[in-house]
Amino acid sequence: MIYDNILDTIGNTPVVRLNRIAPDHVDLFVKIEAFNPMASVKDRLALAIINDAERRGVLKPGQTVVEATSGNTGIALAMVCAAKGYPFVATMADSFSVERRQIMRAMGAKVILTPAAERGTGMVKLAAELAEKHGWFLAQQFDNPANPEYHRQTTGPEILRDFANRRLDFWVTGWGTGGTLTGAGEIIKAARPDVKIIATEPAGASLLGGADWQPHKIQGWTPDFIPGVLNREIYDRLIPVEDADGKANARRLAREEGIFVGLSAGATLTAALKVAEDAQPGSTLLVMLPDTGERYLTTYLFDDLNQGSDDEWLAEQA
């Protein structure tokens, strides 16, 4: 297919059956958001916010866009701003992976780091201060209604279309801004109220579960506050996930299914496998996989991979 620009390739991501990981008594599918042009579900959010701001006239030609990000939203906004001609500035806690900073900078963005001790709140505060001081447009992904609205218009309908005339019993997703859970979840629930919506979050920062926020390793999930756009009434069940289980299942996806994803995707799959344990035989589950594994190469997800030659393995083959 021929597209007028890179932004036209956002969305319509594939749903793929898991053939080796899925328990025998269920059908398990994943929606792979890494097929978006900058390899994450946040491409949808970024395009939605910029298009909405243009339509409302609050983003002027050539105006700088600024946003707080754990990485994927910043990368997506860097792409959208580059394609549309807006300078972009990201504020990001210095605990997030170096790859994310460098991808944004490669697309012309500037990255201002905040201390990890200030958590998500710190980078959000700095973005707001910079917008006020310089007259920049603040994207406000955590509170911008354009975020879940775009998922109502795209992600939710895509899922309904792909499962038209097919069984779908559970839809499983994590949350960072809450846009996917809220927007897609509301559309799925309205059209097919029998589908059980499963939300998942880090066990160490189970804010929806009523726990206090604690540092965790699942980048992109659960800032130290509950976003304004998140509909807390939309999910039927909440499943906290341990960091180590998310890591193990992200690695399994790559090793056993050939699907290379980030830690949040592995954590979402972990929740789905817990649901599958007591699901009725023949049940169908769909799992959201938010991003690619390539922006985690220097992180906890791959910290035990050999970086040299596999000589020991080769010697064992003799």
Residues with active-site annotation: 42, 264
Angle at 194 between CA 189 and CA 197, to 5 degrees: 55
3-state SS class at 150: helix
Closest CA to 271 of 291, 301, 302, 246: 246
* CA–CA dist 247, 36 (Å, integer): 22
> Please, which residues have CB within 8 angstroms of residue 314's CB and are 6 or more apart in sequence?
none
Q: Where are the alpha helices (DSSP H) in the chain?
A: 42-56, 72-84, 98-106, 119-134, 146-153, 155-162, 179-191, 243-252, 263-277, 311-316
